[in-house]
Amino acid sequence: MSEPSRPSVPPGLWQKCPKCRALLYVKELERNLRVCGQCQHHFQIGTAERIAQLVDEGAFTELDDGLLPANPLDFPDYEEKLVRGRAKAGQNEGFIYGDAVIDGVPTVLGVANFAFMGGSMGSVVGEKVTRALERGADLNRPVVLVCASGGARMQEGIVSLMQMAKTAAACARLKATGNLYIVVMTDPTTAGVLASFASLGDICIAEPGALVGFAGPRVIEQNLKIKLPPGTHTAEFQLNHGMIDLVVPRRELRTTLGKLLSYLAPATAAADVDAPVAVAVD
């Protein structure tokens, strides 16, 4: 699935790196997992691409893909934005999850889709994140969530805010059942998502250069009329301040996840619970 996150870039053979402006040959960019060969900028990628990069071949079965957003507040313009988001993202909502096998370890994997209204968390995203975490708890499987979000979805108002509490409670429940929870923060992971399930990983990994922060630096500079030093609110900044465990380049992500999962949640540990099955591609 292609990721139309930079609308200024024309489709075709060449794509400009938004960070270093280098002109990149698309085929090579794709071979490079959509990481700029010049400056290592990690492009935002779609959910299908992400899943293909992380799971054992064909080992992902999506669950609850039919959940659709409602308009709990009758918020103006919301339904139009949902239609546009669906067209842009090619999916029903901003998050997908399902059963996966990563390096031989049966895992519940969830991936946010930033192209759908900025990956914002409304009822559907909150519900699917919660279901993913509950599935891990119920089946004794590790849960890996790949985050990309601008935060809570304004159009669902207070109902969105409550998804923070709901997902945080599901994280606590997963941990109480003794299971492993790994978070991968990708560009960007912010606000209500960072301040709930994304910060609660037993292990928090981020992609290089990803924007990671409670409020984006631009918001802070605008609201407080101050100038921030360069390099704040990034994966590296969060690593330096002890908020995440690892910054892992995309090329190494699958290997790192595979090791962590097999060291900390080997499949044999869950063998007596619910025999993990080799799942079909969706």
Partner 1 sequence: MISPSRWLPFEKPLQDIEEQIQALEAYAAAHGIDRSEKIAELRVMHADLSHQIFSNLSAWDKTMMARHPNRPYTLDYIKLIFDDFIELHGDRRFGDDPAIVAGVGRLNGETVLVIGHQKGRDVKERQFRNFGSARPEGYRKAMRLMELAERRHIPVIAFIDTPAAEARLEAEERGISEAIAACMALMSRLRTPIVVSVIGEGGSGGAIGIAVGDHISMLEHSVYSVIPPEGCAAILDTFGRDGTRGHEAACALKITAADNLRMGIIDEVIPEPLGGAHRNAAETAVLLKDTFTRVLAGLHKLPTDVLLANRYAKFRALGQYIDPSAPKKKAKK
**Nearest alpha-carbon partner for 192 in 219, 163, 218, 235:** 163
* Nearer to partner 1 among residue 83 and residue 228 (C-beta): 228
Nearest-approach distance from CB 228 to partner 1, in angstroms: 6
Q: How far apart are CA 195 and CA 121, in angstroms?
A: 12
> According to the binding rule CB under 8 A, does residue 161 interact with partner 1?
yes
Residue type, 6: R
Count of residues making up the chain? 282
Burial class (CB in 10 A: 0-12, 13-18, 19+), 24: buried
Say if strands 60-63 and 95-102 run parallel, antiparallel, or are unpaired: antiparallel
Single-letter residue type at 41: H
Q: For partner 1, which is the closer residue by CB, 152 or 265?
A: 152
What minimum distance in Å lies between the beta carbon of 152 and partner 1? Answer: 5
Calpha distance 8→5 (Å, rounded): 9
Closest approach of Cβ 243 to partner 1, in Å? 5
The β-bridge relationship of strands 181-190 and 60-63 is unpaired
Interface with partner 1, residue 154, by CB under 8 A: yes
Candidate list 172, 273, 277, 281; residue touching partner 1; CB under 8 A: 172
Q: Which is nearer to partner 1, 37 or 214 (CB)?
A: 214
Contact pick of 17, 45, 48, 124 for partner 1 (by CB under 8 A): 124
Inter-axis angle of helices 250-264 and 47-54, nearest 10: 60
152 binds partner 1 (CB under 8 A): yes
Looking at beta carbons only, is 228 or 273 nearer to partner 1?
Answer: 228
Cβ nearer to partner 1, comparing 31 with 84: 84
Build a one-symbol-per-residue string for 82-121: x at contacts with partner 1 by CB under 8 A, - elsewhere: ----------------------------------------
Q: Does 160 bind partner 1 (CB under 8 A)?
A: yes
Euclidean distance between CA atoms 137 and 160, whole angstroms: 23
> Is there binding between residue 260 and partner 1 (CB under 8 A)?
no
Stretch that binds partner 1, among 16-24, 35-43, 158-166, 261-269 (CB under 8 A): 158-166
3-state secondary structure of 186: strand
Largest interatomic CA distance in the chain: 58
- Going by their DSSP bridges, the two strands 181-190 and 203-206 should be labelled as parallel
**Cβ-based nearer residue to partner 1, 52 or 168:** 168
Among 108, 112, 115, 171, interactor with partner 1 by CB under 8 A: 171
DSSP 153: -
Which residue, 150, 16, 166, 12, is CA-closest to 85? 150
Which residue ranges make up the site for partner 1 (CB under 8 A)? 64, 66-70, 72-73, 75-77, 123-124, 126-127, 130, 152, 154, 156-166, 168-173, 176, 191-192, 194-200, 213-215, 219-220, 223-224, 228, 232-233, 237, 241-243
